[in-house]
Amino acid sequence: MRSNYKVASRLLSLIDRVDSGRPIRLAEIAAEFDVDLRCASEYRDFVMEHRDLVEEREGRSKVWRKQPGPDACLAQAAALDFAVHALSELDGSEHLAELEAMAHQARLALGDVERIQLDRVTRNFQVRTSERTRNKTRGKWVRKLLAAQHERHVCRIQYEGLNGFVGPHEIEPWGLLLHRGRLLCVAGKRSVKRPHPVRRMYLLDGIQEVVTTRQRFHEPAAKHTDYAQIFKDSFGIYCNMPEEAVDVHLQVRGVPAMALRHRAVHPSQQLSEGENGTWNVTLHLVLCPEFMSFVLGMLPDVRVIAPQSLACKLQDTVDAWRDLSEFDK
């Protein structure tokens, strides 16, 4: 009786295994249940009688997986289709091309009814961004930078910064980063004045030319691509700024207060309820133009408590706008 219960328990565990998407292997079954391969084969045959398994090669051995049903195939196709749209900023890279090919094959594997359902899912669950690159050659630069990064080749680029200045840069391309919908090249900028490259973030939209040299560079230290630490005190697309992070205290009300209660705009954000329907918001970050624009966008429902330097900058901006308005009259 106990032997029958043991066998039944083993068979049920194998069925649970394939139902969860994991494969079964004869060697693993034999080792797990301390049986020989003939007995393991009998266990597999029992599972195959109750589940639709497909046989696959894995090196020199065989594995058996559950044949995905229509729902699983549809979910896979929908996930791939979503990924293609969500990562459209990677246009020009082999990564996106591979995703597009997989999404196409997944769609072809569906029946007519499932394709209609896929179109419905795609329409009802989307990622949208209002910003799109206008750099028509960016895909070419993506491919060249990824190749140079893989082979560890130094590159020379022509880059237009946010200040409008165009100039040459000799860089070690350490990686590409999709940050807040914008594609960045994380690189070490070389200079004859410095013995070691300095980390810089280059917007792919601003790159006008990439020339790959024969010079090689060494693998960068892990700290240079520790993005959690790099962006810890940054706000928006501004990062790697030389200024120190400061404590910011805002008092907000109305729609901005509701928005900040629903979503944190920075990892350091803390909220506490104030008086007369106001909320106190504290953050620890580096002050940058994007944060200034963010606070200005909450006027007149925001007041800067600290730091005083931020309050003065905002007041100067408002005064300048008022003077400009008076001038136009």
Query: Per residue in 98-112, pLDDT tens?
Result: 889 988 888 887 878
What's the rounded Cα separation, in Å, for the pair 77 and 101?
11
- Look at the alpha carbons of 162, 164, 165, 166 in this order and tell me if their dihedral is positive or negative: positive
Domain contains 239: no
- In the prediction, which pLDDT does 131 show? 65
Domain contains 130: no
Domain contains 216: yes
pLDDT digits (tens, 9 = 90+) for 265-291: 999 999 999 998 999 999 999 998 889
Chosen domain end from 189, 224, 259 = 224
Q: Are residues 54 and 75 in the same domain?
A: no
Residue 93: which of 180, 176, 200, 30 has the closest Cα?
A: 176
Among the residues of 208-302, which ranges form H helices?
227-230, 254-262, 289-296
Between 271 and 57, where is the model more confident? 271
Domain contains 82: yes
What's the rounded Cα separation, in Å, for the pair 81 and 263?
27
> Quick check: 161 pLDDT over 80?
yes
> Quick check: 185 pLDDT over 60?
yes
Domain contains 240: no
> Quick check: 2 pLDDT over 60?
no
Residue 189: which of 168, 215, 160 has the closest Cα?
A: 168
Assign 148 a pLDDT band (cuts: 50, 70, 90). very high
Residue 307 sits in which domain range? 246-328
Torsion (CA) 200, 201, 203, 209 in degrees, nearest 10:
30
The CATH number given to whatever domain includes residue 185 is 2.30.30
What would you measure as the largest C-alpha separation in the chain, in angstroms?
A: 97
Q: Are residues 148 and 217 in the same domain?
A: yes
Q: Are residues 258 and 271 in the same domain?
A: yes
pTM over 0.85: no
- Look at the alpha carbons of 233, 235, 238, 244 in this order and tell me if their dihedral is positive or negative: negative
Q: Are residues 53 and 94 in the same domain?
A: no
Total structural domains within the chain: 4
Chosen domain end from 179, 194, 224 = 224
